[in-house]
Amino acid sequence: MSQPNNIRRVVIASFIGTTIEWYDFFLYGTAAALVFNKLFFPTIDPMAGTMAAFATYAVGFFARPLGGIVFGHFGDKIGRKSMLVTTLMMMGVATVLIGLLPTYEQIGVAAPVLLVALRFIQGFGVGGEWGGAVLMAVEHGHEGRRGFHASWVQAGVPVGLLLANGVFHLASSMEEKAFLAWGWRVPFLLGVLLLAVGMFIRMKIMESPVFTEAKKADPGPRVPILAVLREHPKNVLLSMGARFAENAFFYIFTVLVLSFGSQQLGMSKGSLLNAVLLGSAVQLVAIPWFGALSDKHGRRPVYLGGALFLTAFAFPFFWLLETRQESLVIMAVVIGLVGHAAMYGPQAAFFSELFGTRVRYSGASLGYQLASPLAGGLAPLIATWLLNQSDGKPWPVAVYLIFMAAITLVSVWLVEETSRKKLG
């Protein structure tokens, strides 16, 4: 077992690396909601342009299962650490290239095509990142604190979102003509600095001791992904279902709220970004707290509580938005993200504990990433279409979210409790 200082070092390294990767990933979502329709799809009306931008946004989610499969395979065969370095490099380079990309006005249809290709690379990288970062924290961590340790990897998500929206908020405060001409590129180009920091930190950590010991004792299956599907099909499906509400609600709270608030409600982009920024800051505290709570009371009760809360909050969320009062909009986003944290905090340890060490990277990644395109990737696109069909009325979106929550409630109810399980 790792010494406490080594555990802290691994958790910090996983947290910082994950923060950087999610900064890269969320930056695209913010840009898709606010400016990509004008820069890459200027020949169609604003609503259709927003849907087209969200469609390119969804491409990254469809690439994530592929990344999870490929990096999961090599993570189970070679090791966790090398995959983390590779995924971080992939994400950083793709993000910087987006910042250098010519617009539709400059190179025509090639611009959105290249945008989609780079978004695919981003999704492929982040698809492999999550499993490795989580497993390093879980497999180094103390048995009774796995939920807390792994939750810090999850906390990299709101910090990445905080950084992405914060930098974008500063850039968008400039005069609109300058922002559309070059200002939007600055947050993407800053990714090169974060990449350098992340690479330095990740190169310093040691390989997972649980994986190293398991590999000595057993070379493992030749194709881990096939072993997972053969031995753990139920856990793959139930972990997918457990993600539906968590993923869909999150991207409604953090991405759709930007386009819905600015286009349908006429609110300023700055006030909407403030709401997401504050909500992300609160999540930084809430996610580890719920992770620790799951160590004490179990993964399932905490996760089910979050899903039930968000089911009840689906309609009130939009009622608060429709007031157009900044304080109530901020309240809506913050409350929603706290409810989301109740699922996201325990999730990393929960999913990791469902699979054996020699297939854990593949198993946890597969369950987690297969749900990404179906839930998070399509959520802003489906919600935008529903708003368009209902003349801007949000009630169909609330119904859609309740449906996603129902899938999660059934899945978590059926899955085993894992908090007292020994890793093997």
Provide the pLDDT for residue 141: 64
- Give the residues of the chain that fall short of pLDDT 50: 1-5
Residue pair 72/362 in contact (Cβ under 8 Å)? The answer is yes
Domains and CATH numbers, the chain: 4-414 (1.20.1250.20)
3-state secondary structure the chain: CCCHHHHHHHHHHHHHHHHHHHHHHHHHHHHHHHCHHHHHCCCCCHHHHHHHHHHHHHHHHHHHHHHHHHHHHHHHHCCHHHHHHHHHHHHHHHHHHHHCCCCHHHHCCHHHHHHHHHHHHHHHHHHHHHHHHHHHHHHHCCHHHHHHHHHHHHHHHHHHHHHHHHHHHHHHCCCHHHHHHHHCHHHHHCHHHHHHHHHHHHCCCCCCHHHHHHHHHCCCCCCHHHHHHHHCHHHHHHHHHHHHHHHHHHHHHHHHHHHHHHHHCCCCHHHHHHHHHHHHHHHHHHHHHHHHHHHHHCHHHHHHHHHHHHHHHHHHHHHHHCCCCHHHHHHHHHHHHHHHHHHHHHHHHHHHCCCCHHHHHHHHHHHHHHHHHHHHHCHHHHHHHHHHHCCCCCHHHHHHHHHHHHHHHHHHHHCCCCCCCCCC
Comparing CA positions, the residue from 58, 15, 19, 18 lying closest to residue 36 is 58
pLDDT for 2 equals 45
Place of tokens 């529903």: 386
pLDDT for the residue numbered 334:
96
pLDDT value at position 4? 47
d(Cα 46, Cα 344) in Å, to the nearest integer? 33
Q: How far is CA 113 from the centre of its chain?
A: 24
